[in-house]
Amino acid sequence: MRRQTGQMARTIGAEEPAAARRMAARGRRLTPQRRAVLDVVLGSERCLTAAQVHVEALKACRSLGLMTVYRTLELLVELGAVRRLHADGRCDAYAPAAAGHGHTVVCSACGRVSEFTRCDLREVSLAAARETGFRIDGHFLQFSGTCAACRLQANRST
């Protein structure tokens, strides 16, 4: 999920068939409703709520219900095609996920999402395990801030 336009198109094009294969492996079809949801999320550079996905996906599939959007988003999260995010003012939002382990940075101003893969949280997870007695099996890391475009726009306004 790189932000350069050419790479973005290649990532999306590569992810849709992968998501369809993973659905098939779980005995699920890529229905027109699921395709509409997948296309909306994979085509966005911003995090979207389920309601926003629903509004956009209705343009491609008039028979799409909001519950189907929620179920499809959950399936896509399980398949690793989409990441569930926490967005300011919106508890759950969704964005495309690059292949493999990754983390997100979400713009507090416009909702643009970028992904990064480098994270060395070994010391933090060991400290959490020592302090809590838990065996740490995984983690979720998300940063928020202001993207370069929003900072530039804010600087022009002042």
Each residue of 55-113: pLDDT tens digit?
A: 999 999 999 999 999 999 999 999 888 889 886 665 688 988 876 677 888 888 888 88
Query: Which residue in the block uniquely carries the two structure tokens 């979207």?
Result: 48
Distance CA 7, CA 3 (A): 7
Q: Does position 7 have pLDDT exceeding 70, yes or no? A: no
Rounded to whole angstroms, the Cα distance separating 20 from 26 reads 10
Give the pLDDT of residue 157: 82
pLDDT at 87: 66
The DSSP call for residue 134 is P
pLDDT at position 23 is 87
Residue whose structure tokens are 């926003």: 52
Domain architecture of the chain: domains with CATH: 5-157 (1.10.10.10)
Instruction: Decide which of 6 and 25 is more confident.
Output: 25
Strands 103-107 and 113-116 come out as antiparallel
The reported pTM is 0.73
User: Could you tell me which residue, 86 or 44, shows the higher pLDDT?
Assistant: 44
